[in-house]
Amino acid sequence: MQAANDNRSGFKIFSGDKVLWVIVTALAVISVLVVYSSTAKMGYNPRLARTTADFLRQHLILLAMCVPVLLVVHKINCRIYNRFAVLFYVVGVIMTVAVYFTNNITNGAARWISIFGFQFQPSEALKIATVILLARQLAARQSIIDRLRIVPSLNPVRWFRDPKQKKIWREGTLPVLAPVVVSCLVIFKAHTSSAILVFGVSLVMMFIGRVRMSELLKVVGLAVAGLLLATLLNLGRTETASGRVSTWFDLWTTSQVDKDVRNLTDTERSMIAIHEGGLFGRGAGRSAVRVEMTHPESDYIYAFFVEEYGMILALAVLMLYLWIFFRGMEIFTRCETAFPGLLVLGLVLLITCQALLHIMVTVNIIPETGQNLPLISRGGSSMLFTAIAIGMVLSVSRQNDEKSHDKPRGESMMER
């Protein structure tokens, strides 16, 4: 009898950090409410020939698909992700590059690929794959990380003649820095802000992973120089990005009082929506600005949420995202080895930073980025891969509770 009870208690459907499960559930419920209301504009579009109920049904089906994915992923030993990190990364890069050879262009950018009739953004998978691979590479080098150089000489001739430069390439540049650079380059062409997000998250991971500060400063300097060069040569979507920066700067420096309402930007409409929402909102389904916005169901869904539900509830949503970060940091501090800790760090940074970028755009703190609100905005790729990321975090949390992490030699996180 005792053995039977032990078996029943040994398996839990929902394991890992309980607070994180509650947060994810709350955000999923909120997404149902706001997606249903925000798609009203699309429901009245005769070219789409679909109603708001159709969009709601589609969103509910997507959520239903994400639940088993989340459940399965959080039961997988996190070392499996370590073992297949290179494969995940290579597949992610290949699929992201393949997008540029398709004719699937939306809003001036190639981001979607169709497999077996389903469309998704492979760059979303590549972001997660980059975090997994970087966590693996940093963890494997913890015993030598404080002596490791990852940035080679700027003189290419020395790469082939100088044994020290060959060593830098072999031990630091290729395994640690190159995957981040390749990811940013292949994502940059279609989604500049996502490339910057991946770079920023990777930089924090390298800092926490104890890469030398002098090397990180070199990486930042080279990244800034590369971004300026891309802007001068009009590579990728830098023209679009430059236009958004100019619009953002104009909104801050020029009076908009006499501007024709028909010429308002989406950012201006989002600020109007926030103003109209006030503290308590206009009420569910009563948004007036959603009809004028280009993508109220994705790029500006937070402003739309404020208009209908008010600033108080909107701040509660913001706190949920910050809570994801703090729960992730709690899980991180309980990890005794580098890989699971760095994996959690990178994944929660991806989610929370994307949410903060989205929210800052709606109040014009930064230029428009096109980043949606994780777990809330309408969009299959983002929802699916965010669920996978959360599942991985819960996997590490579960193994922390079970004390089932293995401890590879040389992977302990040492103090700076």
CA distances from 21 to 12, 51, 74 (A): 13, 31, 11
Q: How far is CA 387 from CA 106, 309, 390, in A?
A: 24, 25, 5
State the Cα–Cα distance between residues 178 and 194, nearest whole angstrom: 17
**Alpha helix stretches (DSSP H) within 74-212:** 78-83, 85-99, 122-140, 156-161, 163-168, 178-188, 192-208
Residue 106 pLDDT: 55
pLDDT (0 to 100) of residue 68: 94
pLDDT of 407 reads 74
Residue 157's CB is within 10 A of a number of other CB atoms, namely 9
- Both tokens of 2, joined, read 């005792």
Asked whether the CA dihedral 344, 349, 352, 358 is positive or negative, the reply is negative
State the virtual CA torsion across 188, 193, 195, 197 in degrees, nearest 10.
Answer: 180
pTM for this prediction: 0.89
Contact (CB, 8 A) for 183 and 130: yes
Instruction: Kindly report the backbone phi and psi dihedral angles of residue 394, in degrees, each rounded to the nearest multiple of 5, phi listed first.
Output: -65, -30
CB 119 within 8 A of CB 131: no
Residue 191: what pLDDT? 82
Is residue 39 within 8 Å of 366, Cβ to Cβ? no
Give CA–CA dist 158/154, Å, rounded: 9
Handedness of CA 109, 115, 121, 122 (dihedral sign): negative
Q: What is the mean pLDDT of each run of 10 residues along the chain (416 residues)?
A: 42 86 94 79 58 80 92 93 95 90 60 65 92 96 91 88 91 94 90 91 95 95 90 72 77 73 77 87 79 74 88 94 95 92 96 94 84 85 92 95 77 56
The pLDDT score that the predictor gives to residue 354 is 94
Q: What is the pLDDT of residue 303?
A: 86
SS3 content of the chain, % helix, strand, coil (to 5): 70, 5, 30
Closest CA relative to residue 84, chosen from 128, 127, 133, 123 = 133
